[in-house]
Structure 1
């Protein structure tokens, strides 16, 4: 039996309260929307975000973009070599930081997985440690390490590695917790030790997820490495900041374009690696 619009209108006329939320629920919704709107308007006012300021800023932004075109083309290998060195250094910083973070985070992730670590106080303490590490932004860590180790790639590598320890450990432990117990029970029934259960029953389930996480974060760390270079942690970001501070906008745009190309190539290669090692996912199924 299908209801017509006439039937619905008649039922709404007979019992109107059945077609809308109760008064307390509606009042809470109105209060939340009023709070959200008030907070949004207050932020606009407190941060001095006005149409006039935005209009003036857009005009200046247009001038800056105009200075970027046409992009600069390096005519000699001696001029272009430092740019290539900066791109390679950024790539190396991201790679080493990702690998070091994963190496430290991998064993820590087992301490945070409830199906591996049955001691609640140790597991919860380890997870809170993940949160403490992730609370520090990579840029803040880079500034701290620059003060300790000086300028160059080392602070950038350490900043990415420490930041990724918290991220990787959390994601790895969640992947370990979401595995099926059946393969582990099969290894156990065959007489396998606890270590063998993890090696042959759990890790084959976790490895594709870990690989996907590593590849994605490596792509992200390449972009982060560019930002770290601006504060003195090495890489192409240092050259980009130098060109911007010297108002050499055409060269700055060329460097930005090369960074975009590098990130695109890394994303493409990561997709190939995922397809080769994990397999192609058929979204149509």
Structure 2
């Protein structure tokens, strides 16, 4: 039996599904408008930011001079090296504690912001916009706010990381919950389970591996962020990094950078091991 379509059958299919095949005029206009807006933004950035490849080429010589000044990495003294190491562990503690607290506090917010858990549109809208508001403020700004609220030190840094990640985790959790398979929830409901049972046995087992993976990644990412917020007085190794840059101690700067890179690499290695322990090995 031949599966080839006749000209009449092909024309009939095109007529009945013309909107899906060729797209509507509105969709085409929106697509063209979006591409034009992005292209305009790109050209605007090139012109207003004074982008120049020649400036980059000319600046490569200055970059080489900085690299020469930073070699070899040297903390200055053993006492100074121990101070730097202590500040590094403080930075890691800020990132770890802030991330874990944000992950815990964001869990109920993620369920409230998920459409398949809370059907009330007003509650869903308020939850999403609240998370957007918190997430819209950078961690460095939160650090400046918390430094003025609780004073200088690592406690302000931890609060800044926690607040910044709260909005991000809430959004990621809600999207992960909305992407879950409804069959598991229906199965729990079919045997008489209530709403709490549906969440505990139907949704949580599906989203926990995703949540764990996201938390592990954020711990690694926030180790770098904690370095930046330390510059504004929120504790950690960033304070010493800013100090050595201001005093032009470039060998100490390179030593601090190497410490940060080593810490991030170690955390990345450990988080990878933990991630595969939670979600399983890679598919071969």
TM-score, length of structure 1 as denominator length: 0.82
Write the deviation string for residues 174-196 of structure 1: whole angstroms up to 9, x where unpaired.
11111112222222222222211
1:57 matches 2:59? yes
Corresponding residue for residue 73 of structure 2? 71
Give, in whole Å, the separation in 2 of the partners of 1:51 and 1:279.
45
User: SS where residue 272 of structure 2 aligns?
Assistant: helix
Shift of 1:91: 0.4
Corresponding residue for residue 154 of structure 1? 155
Q: Output the aligned Cα RMSD.
A: 2.6
User: SS where residue 71 of structure 1 aligns?
Assistant: coil
Figure out how many residues of one structure are paired with residues of the other and give that number: 258
User: SS where residue 256 of structure 1 aligns?
Assistant: helix
Give, in whole Å, the separation in 2 of the partners of 1:230 and 1:45.
31
Corresponding residue for residue 231 of structure 2? 230
Shift of 1:118: 0.9
Residues 110/79 of structure 1: CA separation in 2 closer, same or farther (3 Å cut): same
TM-score, length of structure 2 as denominator length: 0.83
Unmatched 5+ stretches in structure 2? 1-27
Give, in whole Å, the separation in 2 of the partners of 1:45 and 1:123.
41
Shift of 1:54: 3.6
Residues 116/43 of structure 1: CA separation in 2 closer, same or farther (3 Å cut): closer
Write the deviation string for residues 66-100 of structure 1: whole angstroms up to 9, x where unpaired.
10011115553x22211111111100110111112
Corresponding residue for residue 181 of structure 1? 182
Give, in whole Å, the separation in 2 of the partners of 1:36 and 1:203.
39
Unmatched 5+ stretches in structure 1? 1-24
Corresponding residue for residue 47 of structure 1? 49
Corresponding residue for residue 190 of structure 1? 191
Write the deviation string for residues 13-62 of structure 1: whole angstroms up to 9, x where unpaired.
xxxxxxxxxxxx9xx97xx67x8777655544433444564444333222
Write the deviation string for residues 101-124 of structure 1: whole angstroms up to 9, x where unpaired.
112211111111111101011101
Residues 172/54 of structure 1: CA separation in 2 closer, same or farther (3 Å cut): same
Corresponding residue for residue 19 of structure 2? none
Give, in whole Å, the separation in 1 of the partners of 2:119 and 2:275.
33
Write the deviation string for residues 113-165 of structure 1: whole angstroms up to 9, x where unpaired.
11110101110121111111111011111112112222111221111111111
Residues 37/196 of structure 1: CA separation in 2 closer, same or farther (3 Å cut): closer
Give, in whole Å, the separation in 2 of the partners of 1:221 and 1:52.
34
Corresponding residue for residue 206 of structure 2? 205
